[in-house]
């Protein structure tokens, strides 16, 4: 394999030791110095989702998120803000991440 694009993960150290190039996709700007990052943009993600839904003729949206993750809360904020500006309704559902997903 030539390299891996991944979220920040405990596996990163082992992969770096094996000489596998990594790129991290993160919500925040800090991470391991050895790993280049691609930072996500919550506003652009929310805008793209809303534009997609509008293109399908939808105006009554749902958002499923995770309250313990900053990236999810940011996306919800922009999703609600943009939806309100264009007169669309948002239903918000949130949950807690299971141990299987979070790795804890």
**From the first residue on, what is the mean pLDDT of each consecutive set of 10 residues in the chain (104 residues)?**
84 88 80 81 96 96 88 94 95 72 50
Q: What is the residue extent of each domain of the chain?
A: 4-39, 42-102
pTM value is: 0.73
Q: How far is CA 9 from CA 24, 42, 87, 101, in A?
A: 9, 20, 39, 12
Q: What would be the CATH architecture of the domain defined by 42-102? A: 3-Layer(aba) Sandwich (3.40)
């Amino acid at each position: 394999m030539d390299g891996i694009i991944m979220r920040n993960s405990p596996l990163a150290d082992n992969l770096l030791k094996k000489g596998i190039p990594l790129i991290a996709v993160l919500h925040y700007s800090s991470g391991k110095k050895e790993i280049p990052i691609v930072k996500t943009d919550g506003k652009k993600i929310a805008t793209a989702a809303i534009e997609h839904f509008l293109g399908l003729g939808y105006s009554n949206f749902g958002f499923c998120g995770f309250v313990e993750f900053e990236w999810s809360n940011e996306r919800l904020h922009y999703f609600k803000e943009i939806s309100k500006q264009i007169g669309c309704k948002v239903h918000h559902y949130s949950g807690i991440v299971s141990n299987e997903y979070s790795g804890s």
